Amino acid sequence: MKRSLLILLAALALGAALFAGAYFAAHRASELCCARPADDLNWLQLEFHLSNAELARIRELHEGYLPQCAERCARIAEKKRELDALLGSGTNATGVPVKQAEIAALRAECQSNMLAHFVAVSQAMPPAQGDRYLAEMKKFTLGAHEKIEQSMSGDCVHEHSH
């Protein structure tokens, strides 16, 4: 009986090792195989079943949008550094709300441009896919902030822009 138990335990261990080995090897292989496509837009084409013409139009929009987005982000980063400097010095407390307002205004501008870009991209897709794209993008960009705001304030959602 003891020998049988040992055989069963060994078989179980061997089976678990075989399964885990096969699982992780296949996981890694397919992850490496599918990862790092030529550019960020390959995901869009696969996920939303886009034709080459639709992808070309979206690429145009994407490449037009990215430099503007980068410029706005650089301006926000600069304002944040200025705010940090003000907070660190502790001497000019009156300047802090002004900097916060400037950052908020830049973020609002950035957000409205981003939403306009999402709408433009969704319109370059077939209608059903465009709706799905907009919903996905809202979930990843605005949804996260809404969740935080709701968790912090319960039913009453404070108005703050970003």
Task: Give buried/exposed letters for 116-150 (b at 16+ CB in 10 A, else e).
Answer: ebbeebbebbeeebbeebbeebeeeeeeeeeeeee
Q: How far is the CB of 92 from another protein (least distance, A)?
A: 26
Interface region with another protein, contact rule CB under 8 A, candidates 69-77, 92-100, 124-132, 150-158: 69-77
**Is 117 among the residues that bind another protein (CB under 8 A)?**
yes
Q: At what angle do helices 95-123 and 127-138 cross, to 10 degrees?
A: 160
Contact between 132 and 48 (Cβ < 8 Å): yes
Q: How far is the CB of 51 from another protein (least distance, A)?
A: 18
Interface region with another protein, contact rule CB under 8 A, candidates 22-30, 83-91, 92-100, 123-131: 22-30
Contact between 49 and 127 (Cβ < 8 Å): no
Extract the tokens encoding 104: 């908020």
Q: Which of 107, 123, 126, 134 binds another protein (CB under 8 A)?
A: 107
**Is 58 among the residues that bind another protein (CB under 8 A)?**
no
Q: How far is the CB of 136 from another protein (least distance, A)?
A: 8
